Amino acid sequence: MTQTMTNHAGELKDKIASKTALVGIVGLGYVGLPLADALHVGGMRVLGFDVDQKKIEFLERGENYLKHLGAGMTTRLSESDKFEATVDFARLNEPDIILVCVPTPVGPHLEPDLTYVIKTAEAIGNRLRAGQLVVLESTTYPGTTRGDFIPAMLEAAEKSGRGTFEVGKDVFVAFSPEREDPGRKSHTTTTIPKLVGGVDELSTELACDVYRHGVTEVVPVSSADVAEAAKILENVFRAINIAMVNELKVVFDAMGIDVWEVIKAASTKPFGFMPFYPGPGLGGHCIPIDPFYLTWKAREHGRVTRFIELAGEINRGMPEWVVEKTAEALNDDTKSVKGSNIIVVGLAYKPNVDDTRETPAAEIIELLAERGANVSYHDPLVPTFPEMRNYSFSMDSVPLDEPTLTNADCVLIVTDHDVTDWQAIGRHAGLVVDTRNAMSKVPGGVRARIVKA
């Protein structure tokens, strides 16, 4: 450690060590809420911020609006005198540490949209005080913390009369990428290693001290830029490999080869191979979006990321391919898409969660509806079609009972929740288009004709 410990840093370090520091978390969604709980369980006082009053009311009642996290989490928080949630961003001067967990979507032309990040930076700046540590967790391109977030925060502080602040002396800033894996109980906020990169050594040290109260393993890196780039690499790695198997799926399909059997066979190799699985398209907040943050930033530096952009093109084309396979399957039954009753099974983007962010199911439903299909959906975890940025449907989940299934011309599987009644589909459906290889797991075989897509 070569950077001199300032008075503000020393005081904050003592507060963190004694667990008297107050942690503010901006954004109580899929990242912020479990992070709040992890730090709270670790003994820290937590003040949550969110613009959605409904979330605050849920938390006050001890109810969890993120069902996959369970009721125990919000009951624990609501009953604690060490946790509070508010919509009042004027209270941002109260926390000693502020962790920013806000969305980073892309715009209509796949350009980065840092609106939420910049607005949060400005809100913090308007209430900034000496001795605060601010950590950005939102996934973004390398250089955002240093080049976008900090300038917005410091400019707002000066304009609002809070004064001028020197980062690394008066206030401290770091980046620590979220690594949530909703629905997988073996990977939790507490057990997933936490990368931390400050814009200076003191900021890194202080941020690591905070996270160690809620995370088992904290991994410091040399800079915020490295932490940002590591998160992008993690998601680009997955996006490219998923694109590869999606492309192979199309090729093998034309050859009459089952890509799922091929992957299973290749997985017997104990070295040099890691299985990735095809699907109807990418969903969630990270993998469909983050590669485009990097490609955009690369152009600023005169570089073209052809490999990454090709992967994005392949993955974004999967919903259209699934709809084409559905049309072909119906055609084999002497039916057209227009007028056919099609049930889309699974609205969430991945199994066993109610998360519909960037779900390919929404695009598939829209494409089928545009072709004249009578589309419904079944998802026990998403009983009503939610409000989305790009899609709006007035629909409720339909049951998988015998009348509904026998009346369907096609059942199209998009997401394979464990709670879905796969045996009912196998018994009563006539045609099933399966994008997840879900029907292969039904014991005793099925009556329905299965088409893999």
Q: Structure tokens of 352?
A: 């066993």
Q: Structure tokens of 10?
A: 């020393």
Tell me, what amino acid is at 129? Answer: R
Instruction: Please tell me whether residue 450 adopts helix, strand or coil conformation.
Output: strand
Is 101 part of the annotated catalytic residue set? Answer: no
| Dist CA 171 CA 93 (whole Å) | 12
Instruction: Please tell me whether residue 105 adopts helix, strand or coil conformation.
Output: coil
| Dist CA 353 CA 70 (whole Å) | 11
Residue 339 burial by Cβ neighbours in a 10 Å radius (0-12, 13-18, 19+): exposed
Phi–psi pair at 436, nearest 5 degrees: -125, 5
Instruction: Please tell me whether residue 380 adopts helix, strand or coil conformation.
Output: coil
Q: How far, in Å, are 79, 116, 126, 433 from residue 91 at the CA level? A: 21, 18, 10, 52
Beta-bridge partners for 341: 374
Cβ 432 vs Cβ 411: under 8 Å: yes
CA dihedral 63, 66, 68, 72 (to 10 degrees): -30
Q: Structure tokens of 232?
A: 């992008």
Cβ 224 vs Cβ 174: under 8 Å: yes
Task: Check 101, 208, 286, 410 and give the catalytic one.
Answer: 286
Residue 423, C-beta contacts closer than 8 angstroms, at least 6 positions apart? 442, 443
Could you count the other beta carbons within 10 Å of the beta carbon of residue 255? 7
- Exposed e or buried b per residue across 264-281, where buried means at least 16 C-beta atoms within 10 angstroms of its C-beta: eeeeeeeeeeeebebbbb
Cβ 56 vs Cβ 50: under 8 Å: yes
List, as one string, the DSSP characters of 278-311.
--SS--SSSTTTHHHHHHHHHHHTT---HHHHHH
Active site residues: 286
